[in-house]
Amino acid sequence: MPEGTAAMFGGHSTNGRVLVVDDETDVRKVVRMTLEKSGYDVIEAEDGEQAIQEINKGENPLMLDCIISDIRMPKINGVEAINYFKQNYPHVPLIVLTGFPDTEMATGFMKQGIVDYLVKPVEKQKLTTAVAKAMEQREINRL
């Protein structure tokens, strides 16, 4: 049985809770599978607007440990969403996961203090390392 299956049935799992924001269902699914295998709990949103709703849905927003977001999405796009998260949830570490291999954009985001700028197709190892780094960051922010 794959690790982290319990996380699928809700509840804050062992390693932390990650919000995945991407407009493509299959991309969200793939990220979810990778992260659940590493024992994370995953919430999905298909755009920035839904992500913001998801965070504010009554559940304690502090329960979120990391946000992984695409940057090209309908409605509220990733750049706008990331600014929103930065302002309203400065303690939640952010990871950008995008199809754009753009160094300039990556540098800009890194300067803003995101944990990592990952380009699709991303290797499992790279993704889980970035999330682990985000979780460390989260621990520090909690102090």
Partner 1 sequence: MDPSKLAITTVGIIGAGQGGTAMLEALVNLPHVRLVGITDRNPRALGLKIATYHQIPTPLHPLELIQNPQVQLLIDVTGDPSMASTIVRYKPQQTEVLEGAGAKVLWDFIQQSTMIQAQLFQAEKLAGFGTFASGIAHDINNPLYVILAMAENIQEESDRENICQYAVSIHEAAQRIHAISKNITQYARASQTQGAVTVDLHAKLDEALTIARFATKFHEITIQKHYQGTPQVFAKPEEVLQIFVNLMTNAIHAMEGKGHLVLTTGQQNGLTHVSITDTGCGIPSENLQKIFDPFFTTKAHGMGTGLGLYNVRTILRKYHGDLTIESEVGKGTTFHLIFPSTPSIEPVPHVPNSLSSH
Does 10 engage in binding with partner 1 (CB under 8 A)? no
Using CB under 8 A, which of 3, 61, 124, 133 touches partner 1?
Answer: 124
Beta strands 41-45 and 66-69 are unpaired
Do the beta carbons of residue 82 and residue 30 sit within 8 Å? no
- Closest CB 121 distance from partner 1, rounded Å: 4
101 binds partner 1 (CB under 8 A): yes
Provide the pairing of β-strand 66-69 with 94-98: parallel
User: Would you call 102 helix, strand, or coil by DSSP?
Assistant: coil
By beta-carbon proximity to partner 1, the closer residue of 100 and 136 is 100
Which residues would be at the binding site for partner 1 (CB under 8 A)? Answer: 24, 26-27, 29-30, 33-34, 72-75, 77, 98-102, 119-122, 124
